[in-house]
Structure 1
Amino acid sequence: MTDEEIKQEQDPVSEVQDALGFDDAGKSLAKALRLSFVILKIVMVILVAFFLVSGIFEVKEDEQAIVLRFGEIQGIGKDRVLGPGLHFAWPEPIDEIVALPVKRVQPLAINSFWYYESPSDKLRAQARFGKTLNPAKDGYCLTANDSIAGAGTSDYNIVHAQWILDYTIDFPERFFRNVYYRAPKPGEDFIDVMAETVNPLLEAMVADAVVATMVNYTIEEAIKSKTYIARDVQRRVQQKLDSIGSGIRVVTMQAKKITWPRQVDADFQQSNKAKQESQKQITEAKSYAEKTLNEAGGFEAEEVLAALEDTTIIGDQRLLQFLRLAGTAQEMLADAKAYKTKVVETAKTNADYLQKLLPEYQKRPKLVLQEIYRSAIEEVLAGADEKIFIESSGGGKARELRVLINRDPSIKRTKTKEKDQGGL
């Protein structure tokens, strides 16, 4: 191919211009058009590249995201929910990114069961008297019916309570499908959206759970068992959230305050004081009983006592229970055993004596009786300080006997002296 032919192929526009008789001005215009087309192509390539790059987005560490394409969730299985990191999606309006803070715990204060407090009341210690319940302004909850002296039953089954619910989103897809929330506006935090659209739902569920739970407790139980009641309320709230497939998990449910109505404060304080005093006396009585029982029978006394009250334990088993005792009871058992041994030995000695005396008695009964009488008299007189012998009068005449009231002191001194000398 000649140079002329190559020139003609490479510059067809010049041929047309020459054929049409364009001048230099026309050639300049054509050159400008060619340059404009090149610039336009470059701009279009840049725009396409920018369009594609704008589809790259980042999911934060405490978030998970869902990609919607014309309203439908994209992905299969676990890929339907995107974790932290960089991801790609077609820019809007083709795809839409829904990012949810799954690791962020959201607190929610429930004050619908608390009595009305003005701004000034919240800033100072509030007196608990002089006010009555106003159902139009004061929140309250009913408990199991109970009463005390001086307080009406309608007032004594009412409590005021403050609750705190901590929750998080565990399943973003379920949350997106089943819970309505307003899409955040540019620059708006998701917490603001939750407070506006999700929190009212949770407040209603908590209120329903609190009402259903509190009727199972009396007012005293409600005040003393806040932890157990909070667990019961949390269980009920979670069941309701799961029943609608909300994807929300209740982290904690706290009963911040549970208190009695202000109008029965004096009666409740008096009743509470009496119960505390009663409980104190019961505790002291139990402590005294335990102390006495331990002193009487040792540390196993309570178990032994329970075993002895069992009618099925008899014979040797019952005796074994007695042997487990210690303390005063053991001392009494030892004394009883010693006394029993003494009585038995004395009885044996007396029986042996009578067995030996029986043959002599059968031979000479009067002589034996006189001997027994004499021995008895000697035993009795051996312990007497003074001995007075009176002989019978002759001729059967009566004799006059005079007894002096005061004893002879010399006899007592002599006995004491003899006793001391014998001890030395």
Structure 2
Amino acid sequence: MSEHDHHDHPHAPETQDAGSQALAEALRSSFVIVKFAMVALVFVILGAGFFTVGPQEKAVILRFGKPQGEGQKMLLGAGLHWSLPYPIDEVVRIPITEIQQVRSTVGWYATTPEMELAGTEPPAGPSLNPQIDGYVITADRNIIHSRATISYHIDDPRTAIFNFASGTNHQFNLAGISNAVQNAANNALILTAARFNVDDILTGNFAGFQDAVGQRVTELVEREHLGVSIDQCAVESRAPRQLKDVFAMVTTARQNHDKLINDALSEENRILSQAGARASSITNIAESDRTRFVTAVESDAEAFTKLLPKYERNPNLFAQLELSKAMAQVLTNVQDKIFLPQRADGKPRELRLMLNREPPQPKSAANP
């Protein structure tokens, strides 16, 4: 063996040790990176599980479809909460105070949402088409269009979730509750219309008809335990569009009829008011005259009562005194007074007045 070969053999293990060390270094670096990645992934998963429930909401966590918690504890209130990421956990949000609206699907003629927003309606055909036009029948067997808009809110979230509603992929769908309330509105509209006459629904007692529909919807919601509360029921009613002009004529005639009655009542009230005022004035005048006459009579009676003793003592003297008083009052403003005393023989005196003749009038030239 040469010297060169003797000196080369010890270098092979050193080369292998360097490769092993490099591999170990690489593995250690990879494990550190994987460790940090796993820790970061855990933090990301934990952070992704936080969610917020709004002040007008309740939330329920479904773990593999099963609600977490019992009774009221399953309902999460407003604030920050945490759950495992989907699809392990699913967060179902429930708008408990937000007002929901649903409209009946029976009783109204065919239209579109675009027409509703624009305030227009499709042209009326020659007759009502029962295949596309809805209607209700009144108690007097007339056909009209009518629909109800129901406003409600959820007050029992557990019932709304597990009995009538559905939640998928973090989104809460109110289709179940909405359909149930809509069916109640349809039932109430048809049943109530059959108990009212057409005139009452369209004009005479529309408020009563609307209240009756709302009461029926509330009764059905409470009876079926839908977990909602009815806030408002707004009803629209209209005559068939094919008979619009006829109903308009009837409405105009009714308005004229009511106007004539109101005018007659106003005239009656005016005449009665004037007659009452005159009667009151006459009564007051008569009462015033009566009071004045009674007062005068009472005064005269009192005066005669005071004079009665004097008259009873000496009637002749009393008569002379009263005559003198009367003559004095009568002759107060007379300038010339002539007093004729009674003759001793009792015979009446004669008073003769010597009056000169009137002087003749001179004759004028015009009257010879």
TM-score where L is the length of structure 2: 0.63
Please say if 1:137 is aligned against 2:122: no
The CA distance in 2 between the partners of 1:137 and 1:47, in whole Å, is 58
2:230 maps to 1:250: yes
1:208 aligns with 2:187: yes
Deviations 1:247-272 (Å, cap 9, x if unpaired)? 223332212x3112234444433333
Distance 1:96 1:111, change over 3 A: closer
Shift, 1:338, TM fit:
6.7
Q: Which residue of 1 aligns with 2:153?
A: 168
SS at match of 1:223: helix
Superposed displacement of residue 242, structure 1: 2.9
Which 4+ stretches in 1 moved above 6 angstroms? Answer: 118-130, 336-339
* In structure 2, distance between residues paired with 1:46 and 1:117: 56
Which among 282, 300, 304 is matched to residue 331 of structure 1? Answer: 282
1:342-381 correspondence runs (5 A): none
Q: Given that residues 114 and 139 in structure 1 are in contact (C-alpha distance below 8 angstroms), is that contact kept between their aligned partners in structure 2? A: yes
Q: 1:57 to 1:332 in 2, by over 3 A?
A: closer
The question of 1:116 aligning with 2:96 is answered no
User: Does the CA-based 8 Å contact 2:165-2:177 persist in structure 1?
Assistant: yes
What is the aligned counterpart of 1:223 among 196, 202, 216? 202
Give the drift of 1:105: 2.4
Determine if contact 1:132/1:263 at 8 Å carries over to the other structure. Answer: yes
8 Å Cα contact 1:51/1:91 also seen in 2:
yes
For residue 226 of structure 1, report the CA deviation from its aligned partner: 3.7
Gap change, CA 1:27 and 1:126, over 3 Å in 2: closer
How far is 1:160 from its partner? 0.6
Give the conservation status (yes or no) of the 8 Å contact 1:128–1:265.
no
* Deviation per residue, 1:101-155 (Å, 9 max, x gap): 233323334353122358998779779987222222211111221xxxxxxxx4x
1:98 matched to which residue of 2?
A: 92
- 1:373-402 superposed Cα distances (whole Å, 9 cap, x missing partner): xxxxxxxxxxxxxxxxxxxxxxxxxxxxxx
Q: How far apart in 2 are the matches of 1:336 and 1:86? A: 87
**Compared CA separation, residues 89 and 165, structure 1 to 2 (3 A):** same
2:221 aligns with 241
Amino acid at match of 1:285: A
Partner amino acid, structure 2, of 1:110 = S
Aligned partner of 1:269 in structure 2 is 248
Letter in 2 for 1:101: P
The one-letter code matched in structure 1 to 2:189 is V
Partner Cα distance (1:222, 1:40) in 2: 76
Q: Is 2:44 the partner of 1:64?
A: no
State whether residues 50 and 80 of structure 2, in contact with CA within 8 Å, keep that contact through their aligned partners in structure 1: yes
Q: Distance in 2 between matches of 1:32 and 1:129?
A: 83
- 1:203, distance to aligned residue in structure 2 (A): 2.4
Q: Distance in 2 between matches of 1:219 and 1:167?
A: 28
1:158 equivalenced with 2:143 (yes/no): yes
Deviations 1:271-329 (A, max 9, x none): 3333223222222222222222222335xxxxxxxxxxxxxxxxxxxxxxxxxxxx325
- Equivalent residue of 1:168, what SS? strand
Equivalence for 2:78: 84
Distance in 1 of aligned mates of 2:88 and 2:111: 51
- State whether residues 56 and 89 of structure 1, in contact with CA within 8 Å, keep that contact through their aligned partners in structure 2: yes
128 and 41 in structure 1: CA distance in 2 versus 1, 3 angstrom threshold: closer
* Counterpart selection for 1:49 from 28, 43, 54: 43
Secondary structure of 1:139's aligned partner: coil
**C-alpha distance in 2 between matches for 1:177 and 1:121:** 36
Distance 2:59 2:143 in 1: 45
**SS at 2:166 equivalent:** coil
Between Structure 1 and Structure 2, whose CA radius of gyration is higher? 2
The one-letter amino acid paired with 1:229 is F
Counterpart residue identity of residue 253, structure 1: C
- Offset at residue 335 of structure 1 (A): 5.1
Moved more, 136-145 or 197-206: 197-206
* Structure 1 position 259 matched with structure 2 position 238: yes
Residue aligning to 1:295: 274
Preserved CA contact (<8 Å) 2:105 2:186: no
Q: 1:78 to 1:261 in 2, by over 3 A?
A: same
> Does the C-alpha gap of structure 1 residues 119 and 52 become closer, same or farther in structure 2, counting only changes over 3 Å?
closer
Kept after mapping to 1: 8 A contact 2:147/2:189: no
Q: Cα offset for 1:334?
A: 5.4
Note closer, same or farther for the CA distance 1:237–1:49 as it changes in structure 2 (3 Å cut).
same
Give the partner amino acid of 1:116.
A
Q: How large is the RMSD of aligned CA atoms in angstroms? A: 3.6
Query: Are positions 1:232 and 2:212 aligned together?
Result: yes
TM-score (norm 1): 0.55
**Is the partner of 1:138 in helix, strand or coil?**
coil
| 8 Å CA contact 1:222, 1:258 repeated in 2 | yes
